[in-house]
Chain A
Amino acid sequence: MPADDHTHDHGSELSEMQLRVRALETILTEKGYVDPAALDQIVEKFETKIGPHIGARIVARAWVDPDFKQRLLANASDAVNSLAGFDPVAAHLIAVENTPHTHNVVVCTLCSCYPWSVLGLPPVWYKSAPYRSRTVIDPKGVLAEFGVSLPAGTDVRIWDSTAETRLLVVPMRPAGTEGWSEEALAALVTRDSMVGTGLAKSPEAGKEEAAG
Chain B
Amino acid sequence: MTNSIHDMGGMHGFGPVVPETDEPVFHADWERRVYALQRAMGATGLWTIDGGRASLENLPPLAYLAASYYKRWFLGLERRVVTHGLVGKDEIAAGRALRPGIRLNRKLSLEDARTMSFAHFDRPAPGPARFKAADRVRTTNINPPTHTRLPRYARGKLGTVEAVRGCHVFPDTAAVGAGENPQWLYAVVFSGRELWGEEADPSIKVSIEAFEPYLVPA
Q: Which residues of B contact A130 (CB under 8 A)?
A: 14-18
Instruction: Check A154/B203 contact, CB under 8 A, given A24-B74, A91-B120.
Output: yes
Q: Which residues of A contact B187 (CB under 8 A)?
A: 165
Q: Which residues of A contact B116 (CB under 8 A)?
A: 42, 45
* A-binding residues in B (CB < 8 A): 6-20, 23, 25-30, 32-37, 39-41, 44, 49, 53, 56, 65-69, 71, 74, 77-78, 81, 86-87, 91-92, 95-97, 99-102, 104, 107-110, 112-114, 116, 118-122, 149-151, 153-154, 165, 168-169, 171, 185, 187, 189, 195-196, 200-201, 203-211
- The contact sample of 30 A-B pairs, CB cut-off 8 A, is A4-B14, A4-B15, A5-B69, A28-B86, A28-B87, A30-B97, A37-B110, A38-B112, A39-B36, A40-B36, A42-B116, A47-B32, A88-B118, A91-B119, A91-B121, A109-B9, A134-B11, A136-B195, A136-B206, A137-B153, A156-B201, A157-B204, A158-B206, A158-B207, A160-B151, A160-B206, A163-B185, A163-B209, A164-B121, A165-B165
Chain A interface size, as a band, is 35 or more
Residue of A nearest to B86 (CB): A33
Q: How far is the CA of A133 from the CA of B200 in the complex (A)?
A: 16
Partner of A14, one of B28, B112, B122: B28
Q: How far is the CA of A75 from the CA of B145 in the complex (A)?
A: 35
Partner of A6, one of B10, B30, B68, B78: B68
Residue of A nearest to B206 (CB): A158
Q: Which residues of B contact A157 (CB under 8 A)?
A: 189, 204-207
Q: Which 9 A-B pairs have CB atoms at the shortest separation, nearest pair first?
A: A2-B15, A31-B101, A109-B9, A30-B97, A163-B209, A41-B113, A23-B95, A39-B36, A129-B14
Residue of A nearest to B170 (CB): A163
Instruction: Check A31/B86 contact, CB under 8 A, given A46-B25, A155-B204.
Output: yes
Partner of A132, one of B8, B112, B200, B205: B8
Please determine whether A27 and B91 come into contact, CB atoms closer than 8 angstroms.
yes
Q: How far is the CA of A19 from the CA of B74 in the complex (A)?
A: 12
Q: How far is the CA of A110 from the CA of B8 in the complex (A)?
A: 7
- A117 within 8 A of partner (CB): yes
Please determine whether B87 and A27 come into contact, CB atoms closer than 8 angstroms.
yes
Residue of B nearest to A7 (CB): B68
Please determine whether A110 and B19 come into contact, CB atoms closer than 8 angstroms.
no
Q: Which residues of A contact B206 (CB under 8 A)?
A: 136, 157-158, 160
- A18 within 8 A of partner (CB): yes
Please determine whether B107 and A35 come into contact, CB atoms closer than 8 angstroms.
yes
Residue of A nearest to B4 (CB): A110
Please determine whether B14 and A133 come into contact, CB atoms closer than 8 angstroms.
yes
- A121 within 8 A of partner (CB): yes
Q: How far is the CA of A19 from the CA of B71 in the complex (A)?
A: 12
* B-binding residues in A (CB < 8 A): 2-9, 13-14, 17-28, 30-35, 37-43, 45-47, 51, 88-92, 107, 109-112, 117, 120-121, 123-125, 127-137, 139-140, 142, 145-146, 153-165, 192, 197
Q: Which residues of B contact A146 (CB under 8 A)?
A: 17, 19
Residue of B nearest to A103 (CB): B203
Please determine whether A17 and B207 come into contact, CB atoms closer than 8 angstroms.
no
Q: Which residues of A contact B13 (CB under 8 A)?
A: 3
Please determine whether A123 and B20 come into contact, CB atoms closer than 8 angstroms.
yes
Please determine whether A38 and B109 come into contact, CB atoms closer than 8 angstroms.
yes
Partner of B92, one of A23, A30, A39, A41: A23
Please determine whether A22 and B33 come into contact, CB atoms closer than 8 angstroms.
yes
Please determine whether B204 and A24 come into contact, CB atoms closer than 8 angstroms.
no
Please determine whether A28 and B37 come into contact, CB atoms closer than 8 angstroms.
yes
